[in-house]
Chains A and B, each alone.
Chain A
Amino acid sequence: MFGFTIRRLINLIPTVFFISILSYFVIDLAPGNFLTKYEFDPTVDKEMLEIQAKEFGLDKPWYERYFIWAGNVVTQADFGFSFAWKQPVLNIFLERLPNTLLITLPVFILSWLLAIPIGIFSATHQYSAADNVFTFITFLSLSIPNFFFGLILMFIMVDWLNVSSVGGLFSQQFIGAPWFNQGGFNLAKFNDYLLHLWPPLVVISTATAAALMRFMRGTMLDIMNAQYIKTARAKGLIERRVIYKHAFRNAINPIISIFGQSLPTIVTAGLITSIIFNLPTVERLFFDALLNLDEYLAMTILLFFAMLLVLGNFIADLALAIVDPRIRYE
C-alpha cells in the first residue's frame, strides 16, 4: 500500500508540471499586463513604468518567467507577488481560503447527504411518482444556470421577504470578530454566518447534488439489473438486504471514483455565486485578478483549481484501493 501511494504520487509530478505550465501560459495569453493601463496615464512617469516592469520581471518572455516563478515555488514556497494587492500571492490566497472552505465544506456535506439517499431511492423506485418528481427537479436544477438561480433567490429575498442586506459572508460587525472569545465559542458570529450562508449554499448544492443524484441513480439502476441481484432475490433475501448488502456495496466504487470530479463543479458554481452574493472567496479573488491582469495571483489560483481535481482523483484512487479488495495495487 505504501509503495502504491508513493508510485501514484511520483506519477503526479509530470501532470502537475504540465498543468502549471498551461496555467501560466493561459493567464499570460491575455493582451497587455498589469502596467498596460498606466501607459496612457499622463500622471505616471514612463521611466518609473520601465523600472517597475523590470522589477516585476514583465520584460522577459513568459517561459523564462515561468521557470523563475516555478523555481521560487519549489525552493521557497514563493508564489509570486500580486501587483494589485501589493502583497505576496500566498498571503492573500491564505487569507481568502477559510472563506472558501466555510462555503465549500457545507456544500460538499449537504449535496452528498442529499444525493446518495435520493439517488438510491429513485433507482429502487424507478418510474414511481416520487422518482418522477425527483427526476424533474434534478433536470430543472441542471438546466438553471447557477447565476440565474442566484438571481431568483435574490429576487425572492429582496422583493418578497424584504431582506434589507443581501450578500457577503458576515455582517459588518462580525467580519473581524474572532470565532472564540472569552465566553467560549462566538455563537453570535456563527448565527450571522448561517444567515449569510444559506443562499449560496442552496445555489451551489442544488447544482452539485443534482448531477450527483443522476449519477447515483444511473449506477444503482445498472447494478439492480445485474445477475447477482437476481440471484440474491431468487435466494429469497428480503429486499432491504438485497439493496444494501448486494447492490449498494457495489455502487460505492463508482461513487468514490467521481468524488474527485465533484470538486470542480463546486468551484464553478462557487465562482458565479461568489460574484452575485459578493462573497470574499478565493473564486472571487480569481475573477478580480483576471480582470486586473494580476498574473501571478490569477495563475496561482487557476493552478489551485486544477490541483483540486488532481488531488481529488488521487484520494479517490487511494480510497478505491483500500475499499475494494478486487483492486490490486502491487
Chain B
Amino acid sequence: MSKSTTSQRTDQGRPSLTQRQIIWRRFKRHRLGVIGTVIVLLLSLIAVFADFLSPYTYDSEHRTLAYAPPTPIHFFDENGASFRPFIYAYKQTRDLISNRVSFSEDTSTKYYLSFFAKGDPYRLLGLFDTDIHFFGVQTPKDSKAQLFLFGSDTFGRDLLSRILFGARVSMAIGPVSIVFSLFLGALFGGLSGFYGGWIDMIIQRIIEILQSFPALPLFLALSATLPSHWSSTAVFFGIVLIFSLIGWTGLARVLRGQILSLRESEYVLAAKAMGTKNLRIIFKHLLPNTLTTVIVTATLGIPGAIMGESALSFLGLGIRDPMTSWGLLLFDFLSSMMTNLRFHPWLMIPGLFIIVAVLAYNFMGDALRDAADPFSNN
C-alpha cells in the first residue's frame, strides 16, 4: 500500500510513477473514454434509483391513455414565460372510419410539474416505503393529465419509467455475466496455462468447439431451454449463465497466453527456486500481473453482453415479464411492427438507450486498453 502512494525518486529527482498511476494518467487523456465512463456511471446510478427518478412505477397502468404520444411540456403561457413548466391534459378523439384514437391537448387547465412530487408508492432501495418521485405532476391516477415524457404503451404505462426500470436489467447483465465469465475464464485459463500438457490440450479443444458456434444462434438455442415456469429472476440468472458459458472462452485464451509467458519469467523462477508453493505462485505472482489484461478484456466484453441480452429479449427468448429490459420493451414493438412504426414511433426510444450504453462501454473499454498497453506511445 505504502509503496504505491509514496513515490520513489529517480536519479533526476523527479518522482517516478507506479504502473497504476501511468495507466490512470493515460486514461484521463482519452477524452471519449472519460465521457463514456461518466455515462456508464450515470446509467448505473439511474438503474439503482430508477423508482425514485421515474415519475411512475414501471407497472402503473392508465388504460384509458393507451399509446399516448409524448406529453409536450410548456414553458410559456398567455402571459409569456411561466415560472414553472406545465402540461395540459390529453384530449382523445376517435376517428369513426379508421377507429384510430388521436391525441390532442385540452388547454382548459394547466397542470404544473413539480420536483419531489407525490405519486405511486414504492420502496426506495428496498428499505423505505415512500411515494415521493423526483419529478411529476400530482394528478389522480384516473386523470387525463399525465406526464408521459416518452409516451405510453398499450396498457398506458409510462415509457420513460419503464426505460429507467429497464436500465436495471440492461445495465446489470453485462457486469454480472462478465463476473461469472471471469471466474470460469480465470479457472480454466489459469489451469491451462500453468499446467500445460494434456490439461491444456483438453481445455483448448473445448474452447475451440465452443467458439465454432456463432453466438446468437447458440444463445437462442440455450435460452429456449429455460423452462417457462421459471420466475423472471431465475431467467435473468439463466441468461447470465448462458452468456458466461460461452463468454469464458475468450478470457481463458487471453489469460492462458499471459500465464504461459509469465511462467518462464525470472521472478517466477526465483519464487520456485525459493520453494514457493504452486498456489502461492498463481495467486501472488501470476494473477496480479495479468490483472490489467483481465480488466481490459472484461470491459470490452460488456457491450457484447448488453447487445446479446437485448437481441434475445427482442426475439422473445430473453428476460420475461414482470422484469423489463430495453430489449424486451422493443419486443413489444415487434409484435405489431407496421402499426407501431407508422403510429407509435416513440416506442422505439428504448433502442437509443441501448446504443448510448453500448457506445459508452465501448469508449471506456477502448480507453482502458490504450491506457494499459505498455507499448502505446501517447
Mutual binders A and B: yes
- The chain A residues found within 8 Å of chain B, CB to CB, are 15, 18-19, 22-23, 26-27, 29-31, 139-140, 142-148, 151-152, 154-155, 158-159, 166, 263-265, 267-268, 271-272, 275-276, 283, 286-287, 290-291, 298, 301-302, 305-306, 308-310
Contact of B212 among A15, A26, A265 (CB under 8 A): A15
CB-based contact A287/B341 at 8 Å: no
Instruction: Please classify the interface of chain A as helix (H, G, I), strand (E, B), loop, or mixed, using the class held by over half of its residues.
Output: helix
* Contacts known (A18-B209, A154-B341); A271 close to B216, Cβ less than 8 A: yes
Q: List residues of chain B with CB within 8 A of the CB of A287.
A: 220, 315
Instruction: Please classify the interface of chain B as helix (H, G, I), strand (E, B), loop, or mixed, using the class held by over half of its residues.
Output: helix
- In the complex formed, the residue of A with least CB distance to B210 is A22
Q: List residues of chain A with CB within 8 A of the CB of B215.
A: 264, 268
* Contacts known (A139-B359, A158-B342, A268-B214); A148 close to B209, Cβ less than 8 A: no
Tell me, yes or no, whether B150 is within 8 Å of chain A by CB: no
Q: List residues of chain B with CB within 8 A of the CB of A275.
A: 315
CB-based contact A26/B221 at 8 Å: yes
- The chain B residues found within 8 Å of chain A, CB to CB, are 205, 208-218, 220-222, 224-225, 227-228, 303, 307, 310-311, 314-315, 317, 327, 330, 333-334, 337-338, 341-342, 345, 348, 351, 354-355, 358-359, 362-363
Contact of A147 among B210, B217, B311, B363 (CB under 8 A): B311
7 A-B pairs within 8 Å (CB atoms) are namely A23-B213, A145-B355, A152-B351, A159-B345, A264-B215, A286-B220, A301-B217
CB-based contact B216/A309 at 8 Å: no
Distance in angstroms from A165 CB to nearest chain B CB is 10
CB-based contact A151/B333 at 8 Å: yes
CB-based contact B209/A30 at 8 Å: no
Distance in angstroms from B8 CB to nearest chain A CB is 31
Contact of A305 among B205, B210, B213, B358 (CB under 8 A): B213
Contact of A144 among B227, B341, B355 (CB under 8 A): B355
A178 to B44, CA, bound (A): 55
CB-based contact B221/A148 at 8 Å: no
CB-based contact A271/B217 at 8 Å: yes
Q: List residues of chain B with CB within 8 A of the CB of A23.
A: 213
A283 to B214, CA, bound (A): 12
CB-based contact B214/A148 at 8 Å: no
CB-based contact A305/B214 at 8 Å: yes
- In the complex formed, the residue of A with least CB distance to B354 is A145
- In the complex formed, the residue of B with least CB distance to A147 is B314
- In the complex formed, the residue of B with least CB distance to A309 is B212
CB-based contact A143/B355 at 8 Å: yes
CB-based contact B330/A151 at 8 Å: yes
Instruction: Kindly list the 10 A-B residue pairs having the minimum CB-CB distance in the complex, ordered from nearest.
Output: A264-B214, A148-B351, A268-B216, A143-B359, A143-B358, A29-B225, A306-B212, A267-B214, A158-B341, A30-B225
* Contacts known (A158-B342, A290-B220); A143 close to B212, Cβ less than 8 A: no
CB-based contact B214/A309 at 8 Å: yes
- In the complex formed, the residue of B with least CB distance to A286 is B217
CB-based contact A30/B224 at 8 Å: yes
Distance in angstroms from B30 CB to nearest chain A CB is 13
A140 to B352, CA, bound (A): 12
Task: Give 10 new A-B contacts, CB below 8 A, not counting A268-B214, A305-B217.
Answer: A30-B221, A30-B225, A139-B359, A143-B303, A151-B348, A158-B338, A166-B338, A263-B214, A264-B214, A302-B217
Q: List residues of chain A with CB within 8 A of the CB of B214.
A: 263-265, 267-268, 305-306, 308-309
CB-based contact B225/A31 at 8 Å: yes
* Contacts known (A145-B354, A272-B311); A302 close to B330, Cβ less than 8 A: no
A67 to B217, CA, bound (A): 23
- In the complex formed, the residue of A with least CB distance to B352 is A148
CB-based contact B351/A151 at 8 Å: yes
Q: List residues of chain A with CB within 8 A of the CB of B359.
A: 139-140, 143
* Contacts known (A26-B222, A30-B225); A145 close to B338, Cβ less than 8 A: no
A155 to B341, CA, bound (A): 6
A263 to B214, CA, bound (A): 9
Contact of B224 among A142, A147, A291 (CB under 8 A): A291
* Contacts known (A158-B341, A302-B213); A139 close to B363, Cβ less than 8 A: yes
Q: List residues of chain A with CB within 8 A of the CB of B307.
A: 145
CB-based contact A22/B209 at 8 Å: yes
Distance in angstroms from A228 CB to nearest chain B CB is 18
Q: List residues of chain A with CB within 8 A of the CB of B213.
A: 19, 22-23, 264, 302, 305-306, 309
A276 to B338, CA, bound (A): 11
Q: List residues of chain B with CB within 8 A of the CB of A158.
A: 338, 341-342
Distance in angstroms from B86 CB to nearest chain A CB is 30
Distance in angstroms from A236 CB to nearest chain B CB is 25
Q: List residues of chain B with CB within 8 A of the CB of A271.
A: 216-217, 220
Distance in angstroms from A282 CB to nearest chain B CB is 10
